[in-house]
Amino acid sequence: MMCFKGPVFTTLPSKGAVGDALGINASTERMYGGVFPGMNNTVSHVRVYSALCWAVNTVWVALDGRAISATELRRTMSRMLWKMQLLLSWSATVAGESGFPGKSRFDDAPGTVTLTREAFPEVATSFLEDVWYRPSLVGGFRFLDAGDGRDTGTYRCTPAGERLAQAYEDVALQRLSPTLFTWLKSSEDVACTLKRLEKLRPVLSLTKPDGAEIAAFVKQFYDAEPRRHAGVLLALRSLEALDIDQPGSHSIDRIRHTMAAGMTPFGRLVDVEGVSKIQGQWTVLQLRALQRLALDTMFSLMEREIFRRECNGRSRNQEEVVGGILEALKKEGGAQFLSMPLSGPLEHLKKFQGKHPTLQQASMSDKKHRYYIGDLKARLRSLSTADWATAQPLSLAVQTLLICSAEAQNLAKNPSAAKHLGSDPGRCSLKELASAVQGHLSGTVAEFLTDVFYKFVIGQHLRVAKARSYAVSDGADRFVFALEDAELSRNSVGISADFARPGDTADTLYNVLLLLANSRKLEAAGLDLTDRGPNRVRALFRLKRSGHQMLKKPN
């Protein structure tokens, strides 16, 4: 029983994670999952799939139908899988490859390694984790079936996994000596020297999977799941269209927005026959991601303004805080813009769009690429500390929201896209944004912005943070700021100025292209898997001949 002997000062309770303060990320992630189902944003190498499938299969083959207790099976499989995972990580570290987990285990360039989990107690990360390959190995691409209940921790190859394992075994038999192959198959022999590792490199290299492994992988990756097939096909067709216009490599952002607009920057339409549904979803996804950046920018502005007012003791009344944010734009010459009717900038966008069905196509056709989504995203992502002290973030955010609203109205006419516009209701879905804009058509830009701050920044954050805390029910709150007693205040102590930054949703298109490049369907350049930069990926891709072959396959 609790007992107090006297009064005590309260201590600060733990705070929950507050990333994605407006709660938009989940829906965009779901949309990514709709276009490229079964994969996350960490997978990039075919060999990981084949080697791990082979490791699992090897355990079962070794059993040869022999009865074995669940505990023993779990132990054997765990040892075999750890052996293979550590070999892959070690080999990739030695070879200077990138984009894999557990590199720090081998920082001191060991000469001999015991290939067990226990040998590296301080590093737990592995390929078979939920943030790495496990989701796609098991549920996503269905190479492995995971045991549950008593069999948790064990796996069994699906037919697709068996094909992949067989391809790996063929390569291993061909490239390794019998002694080495026997060593590799053993779950008990786990001591490895650097010399042995070098001999194993042909079957461990992440960058050079064998053709048979690739064939088995691509069959499942490309052919097995209709939506993923359509998503990948749309990416390949976009790349093909770009290649026709401008032979050579193209940036991932260019590919992404060509897929979204259905048109290259050179005006060539992408063939969307058979993939129009996915293309509609992808277009909405890109618009939603842009809208998230704009709303996150407004959220960050709100947090900064509250902090400024806390420090200088000025009123933190909701109206005055929002007024303070708008004031910055007024001071920098935006007074006229803020006081103009909201219909003004929308009419301008309509005029710009002309006969194009969407703003995205119009911006693609525009010589200066005005209102190009990729450009807006890049600018919102890369706001510097100095920028935040100016009116630029707000100016960009409002421009972006108006573009999103106008484009949402365009997409409402496309049945494939329209059904996704309302997704994420209550969290400023594109449909709700368009509706809010329509509701303010006779008002000013400032009135519209004020309403967005109230409803979709302050209100939405409080609702999202409350719902998250309620769902977890751990006593930790997830509020970045509070609106209490008619005042806004930051939910933190002291002078920490670690403000939220506009957030990007994990980009699985990049990983699709990486897998295709690893499968020698694309040629990739400028890749740096270890350092994608804080905001965006810089990589170039070009369609190879075998990639063109994929386009010729029937749907």
Partner 1 sequence: MTTLYDIVDAVRPTRAFFSTYTYSAAWFEATLFPLLRNQRGVECEQITVMLERRQARHSLDSAISRFAGTRYRVIAASPKGESSSPGIFHPKVAYLESDEGDVFVVSSANLTIRGQGVALEVVDAVCAAQEPQVFSQVAEFFETLPSRLNLLTPEDRTVLARIAERARAQAGKYADQHEGPDSTWLVTTLTKSAGSQLSDLARHRLNQPAQLTVLSPFFDKDGTAVSSLAKKLGTRRLQLGVSRRPGRGEWVAPFADNPSWDTKVTPPAPENERPLHAKWFDIEDASGRSLVMTGSVNATHQSLWMTKNVEVSLVRLVPKSTVSTWQKVTDRIRFEPSAYPRAEGDFEGLQFAASLTAGAVLEVYFAVAPGIGSVTVALTQNDSVLFRTDCHVRRDNVAAVKLPTAVTEKFSDSPLWAQVAVGSASDSTLVNREESLKMRPSSKNLSGAVDRVNAGDDDDDDALLIAEAAHILLTGRARAPKGRRGKTSSEKQNPTTLQRNDREDGSDEFLTEDEWLAKSQGSAGDAGPTDSITERALEAFGRLLEKEDKVIESRLGEGDDETKGDDVDDVNVEDPDDISGGRAPKKRAPGRNESRTKRANTIESARLALDKRLGRPGPIPDAIARMLLPLKIVGNLSRGIPKSLRNIDTGVELSHEGLTREPLAFLTGLLSTLAKLQVSPGVMEEQLPLVVTAAATVSLCLSRRGLASRDTELRAQLDTIAGRGVTPEQGEAYVRATWGKGTSKRICLFKPDDLVLQLWTILGADSVTSIMDKVLTAAYSPGAGGAGDVTEELAPVVEALLRPPGKKKLYSVIVEDRVTNVMGCPQCGAAFTPEEKSRLRKTQIALCTGTCHRPVFVLTSATALHQFLRQTDAMTSDRRTTKSDAGAVA
Q: Is residue 459 near partner 1 by the rule CB under 8 A?
A: yes
The dihedral region occupied by 239, where left means phi > 0, alpha psi between -120 and 50, and beta the remainder, is alpha
End-to-end alpha-carbon separation of the chain, Å? 68
Residues numbered 271 to 310 that lie near partner 1 (CB under 8 A) are 307, 310
CA distances from 512 to 13, 27, 417 (A): 42, 20, 22
Please list, in sequence order, all residues whose beta carbon lies within 8 angstroms of the beta carbon of residue 59, skipping any fewer than 6 positions away. Answer: 73, 76, 77, 80, 187
Q: Is residue 119 near partner 1 by the rule CB under 8 A?
A: no
| Both structure tokens of 541 | 């891709």
**Greatest pairwise CA separation for the chain in angstroms:** 81
3-state secondary structure 437-467: HHHCCCCEHHHHHHHHHHHHHHHHHHHHHHH
What 3-state class would DSSP assign to 417? helix
Which one of residues 335, 378, 412, 462 is an interface residue with partner 1 (CB under 8 A)? Answer: 462
Q: Is residue 224 near partner 1 by the rule CB under 8 A?
A: yes
Which one of residues 178, 313, 534, 554 is an interface residue with partner 1 (CB under 8 A)? Answer: 313
> Least distance in Å: CB of 8 to partner 1?
5
Q: Amino acid letter at 196? A: R
DSSP code of residue 178: H
Q: Is residue 225 near partner 1 by the rule CB under 8 A?
A: yes
Residues numbered 372 to 431 that lie near partner 1 (CB under 8 A) are 425
Q: Is residue 463 near partner 1 by the rule CB under 8 A?
A: yes
Question: In which residue are the tokens 């960490």 written?
Answer: 42
> Least distance in Å: CB of 239 to partner 1?
25
Q: Is residue 63 near partner 1 by the rule CB under 8 A?
A: no
> Least distance in Å: CB of 218 to partner 1?
15
Q: Is residue 355 near partner 1 by the rule CB under 8 A?
A: no
Which one of residues 111, 188, 384, 470 is an interface residue with partner 1 (CB under 8 A)? Answer: 470
What 3-state class would DSSP assign to 339? helix
User: Is the Cβ of residue 6 or residue 554 nearer to partner 1 in the bound state?
Assistant: 6
Site string for partner 1, 71-110 (x = CB under 8 A): ----------------------------------------
CA distance 207 to 91: 11
Strand partners, 146: 155
Q: Amino acid letter at 515? A: L
> Least distance in Å: CB of 459 to partner 1?
5
User: Is the Cβ of residue 465 or residue 537 nearer to partner 1 in the bound state?
Assistant: 465
- State the residues that interact with partner 1 by CB under 8 A: 1-13, 15, 142, 147-151, 158-160, 224-226, 307, 310-311, 313, 425, 455, 459, 462-463, 465-470, 473, 475-479, 482-486, 489-495
